[in-house]
Amino acid sequence: MGLRLKFNLVLVIVFLAGFAATGLVSRQLLQDNAREEVLRNARLLMDTALSVRAYTVEQVKPHLDRQLQDVFLPQSVPAYAATETLGHLQKKYPDYGYKEATLNPTNPRDRATDWEADIVQQFRQNAESTELVSERTGGTGRLLYIAKPIQITNAACLQCHSVPAAAPASMLRIYGEANGFGWKHNEIVGAQVVTVPMDIPVLKADRTFKTFMAALATVFAVVFVTLNLMLSWLIVRPIRRMSLAADKVSTGDFDVPEFSDAGRDEVAVLGSSFNRMRRSLEKAMQMIERGH
């Protein structure tokens, strides 16, 4: 096995090991970053919904309290305001979703689906949980969702949701008496659920990963060729010339020209040593021939 082959074999093994390790680490980092980006978008959407809720309670509802005695205005309900506001956002970004998923809602559009009902049950079983983050597969691909429990902490909410007789007649005329009643104080009745698509960030991460690995392979190819050229020019060729010269000298052919001793590297030192050995051997042979 030649010197060049040994060198290239070691270089390829080291590169493959580094390439595999770098690929595993970089892919995981890119996937984690993609998920973090999706999670930030989901939290931003959730915070927007919470801000709309707070704005409705603090600045809208107080101005409508007198009208609510005669006419029920859904716009004064925080959940309705948040759902409507983010519903306009969904028209432009249909893959993003927000829902006040409730087990027994007043408005039928808020009724929890099976997977949303499972989230509500998880909050009910673990009352200390304030947030749930997970993934699911939807019609558009992978989705990340954040959910927060909807808990009746304000006793004033029970005026509209305890029994139909206590609810405003104007609300009953819109929604009827069949749904949205029987709620209890401190009961978890639903969950705010934000869903954000993961496919686009994940695809970007995969594309970045492939580009990075291709660039890494290109750099290795350039380094590989460059090192081989340097190895051939600086080491293999001089050593091969010395090997051929040594073969000729060993057979008594001293017409081989001396090697240049310019330079201070190992090859130059080896050439200088070879020259001294050749001259010494030539003188020894001459002395032997004179003796005969």
Which segment of 46-55, 62-71, 100-109, 134-143 scores lowest on mean pLDDT? Answer: 62-71
Spatial contact of 96 and 188, defined as CB atoms under 8 Å apart: no
Same domain? For 165 and 23 the reply is yes
- Domain end marker among 134, 164, 198: 198
- Domain end marker among 198, 224, 256: 198
Output the average pLDDT for the chain. Answer: 84
Q: Which residue has the tokens 């980006």?
A: 37
Give the pLDDT confidence score for residue 63 in this predicted structure. 75
Between 266-291 and 237-250, two packed helices, what is the crossing angle to 10 degrees?
10
- pTM metric for this prediction: 0.70
Spatial contact of 84 and 96, defined as CB atoms under 8 Å apart: no
Same domain? For 169 and 262 the reply is no
Q: What kind and span of H or E run contains 136? A: strand 132-138
Spatial contact of 147 and 132, defined as CB atoms under 8 Å apart: yes
Does residue 1 belong to any structural domain of this protein?
Answer: no
Q: Tokens for 180?
A: 């949205």
Number of domains, the chain? 2
- Domain end marker among 144, 175, 198: 198
pLDDT tens for each residue of 254-285: 667 766 666 666 667 777 777 777 777 767 77
Does residue 159 belong to any structural domain of this protein?
Answer: yes
Same domain? For 122 and 255 the reply is no
pLDDT tens for each residue of 65-89: 777 667 887 888 888 899 999 988 8
Same domain? For 194 and 221 the reply is no
pLDDT tens for each residue of 157-209: 777 888 888 887 778 888 888 888 888 888 999 999 999 998 888 889 999 99
Domain that holds residue 235: 206-291
Same domain? For 194 and 212 the reply is no
Same domain? For 175 and 221 the reply is no
DSSP 8-state class, residue 69: T
